[in-house]
Structure 1
Amino acid sequence: MSISSRIRMQAIRSVAPEAEGAAGSTANAKLGSHSTGVADSGRWSTRRIAMYALFVALAMVTSFIEFPITPVAWLKYDPSGIVCLIAGFAYGPSAAIIVSVLGFVPHMFADPWGSLMAVLVALCLSVPASLIYRKIRSRKGAALGILAGAVLAIVAALLGNLVITPIYAHMSYAAVAAMILPILLPFNLAKMAIHAVVTFLIYKPISNLLAKQQ
């Protein structure tokens, strides 16, 4: 091999790693434009478990903050669903499941049937939302995820009322069905609207804060 050929080969070898590094940086920049950098890692580190525990504790606390949002005073709103959504966006569907289930454990002793419905609604809201957001890491993905989760959660809430409420509230199926349009549907629409708006406004700052702590 001639001297000039050797020089060209060395030049190519020295440039190739730089090109690969630049391409990798560009790809990472594109991926990270909306990614929080938190849910991308599936490692069950001590810190990750601690953050799950923190979200579970927040869900427990917020589940006790109840107040009416419609003229029907016995139907009360609590913001625990927002915590489940944020956990799912930040750490993925596994976090959404864990927080949605464990967050209502304190209520299961006093109100097992109501807690079962609350867990069902929280799962239907947060798990689909986190799955969609994991695929589409942007505000559009977050909006689509929240919308899909809210629709499923409303359906689950209405069906849950039809099946479970007659069992523990000693009401007939017909009586519960008669409440769907005038009472249950408006309440659940208002509930999911609050969840959606608040989550959409705060999820990104919180996720970015969590990502910086990694």
Structure 2
Amino acid sequence: MTSDNTMPRNKTFTTRKMVTVAMLSAIATVIYYLDFPVPLMPGFIKLDLSNVISLLAGFSMGPIAGVIVCLIKNVIQLIIKGLGTTMGIGNIFDFVTSAAFVLTASVIYHKKKTRKNAIISCIIGTLVFTVISLPLNYFIVYPIYFKAFGGEAAILGMYQQIMGSVKNIFSALCIFNLPFTFVKGIICALVTILIYKPLSPILKGKD
């Protein structure tokens, strides 16, 4: 009798979790499309807050759920927009960095589910998010952008319009992209910390 009663509960939980992940993925996709340019950055670099939704999934349902939301969000956009001249490198970059952010923060948070640890996990996740963006951009993403958008000089010129003293792409990434990525991570972390507690009962299916 105990086994019979347990199975429906497990099945219901699994189904509800899948539905919640699908719902959050849809929301993350919409937010991903609502990106916007930021001052003092080249026009092709935009800010979006879709990682807030991925973090909510990771905190409420575990790290894998958060990574799945990151994946679905990018796959949907690739399906809609296509690979384009950059072969979808922007989406691949977003998935890898976002997944690293969410995975790191969620794993740390689930070790001790307190507000203090949530803050610590988000800070560490933001640092990972920021640090891995530099080699990925320099060695993989930007070389593809060079081929797609008229060469290294064309991309560097966009940075030099903002700061003429920038001499090469590496320094441009350090001066512009690293602080931007860090600020983006901090904003997503702050929003997540502020809204997670009131949303937690809904995400976890508690009345």
Aligned residues: 174
Aligned sequence identity (%): 29
Within 2, Cα distance between the matches of 1:187 and 1:42?
43
**Pick aligned residue for 1:180 from 154, 173, 177:** 173
Within 2, Cα distance between the matches of 1:179 and 1:44?
48
Q: 1:54 to 1:179 in 2, by over 3 A?
A: same
Report which stretch shifted further, 167-176 or 44-53.
Answer: 167-176
Question: Is there any run of 5+ residues in structure 2 with no aligned partner, and where?
Answer: 1-9, 157-166
The answer on whether the counterparts of 2:97 and 2:132 sit within 8 Å (CA) in structure 1 is: yes
Structure 1: distance between partners of 2:97 and 2:131: 9
Q: CA deviation at 1:42?
A: 10
Is 1:94 aligned to 2:87, yes or no? no
TM-score using structure 1 length: 0.74
> Could you list the runs of 5+ residues in structure 1 that have no partner in the other structure?
1-40
1:129-208 to structure 2, matched below 5 A, reads 129-170=105-146, 171-172=151-152, 175-208=168-201
- Equivalent residues in 2 for 1:16-165 (5 A)? 45-72=14-41, 73-108=43-78, 109-110=82-83, 112-165=88-141
The 1:188/1:164 distance shift into structure 2, 3 A limit, reads same
CA distance in 2, matches of 1:152, 1:43: 35
TM-score normalised by L of structure 2 = 0.76
CA contact (8 A) 1:120 1:156 kept: no
Q: Give the Cα–Cα distance (whole angstroms) in 1 for the partners of residues 176 and 58 of structure 2.
A: 29
Where has structure 1 moved over 3 Å in runs of 4 or more? 41-44, 171-175, 211-214
CA distance in 2, matches of 1:155, 1:207: 29
CA radius of gyration, larger in: 1
Mapped contact 1:161–1:176 kept (Cα < 8 A): no
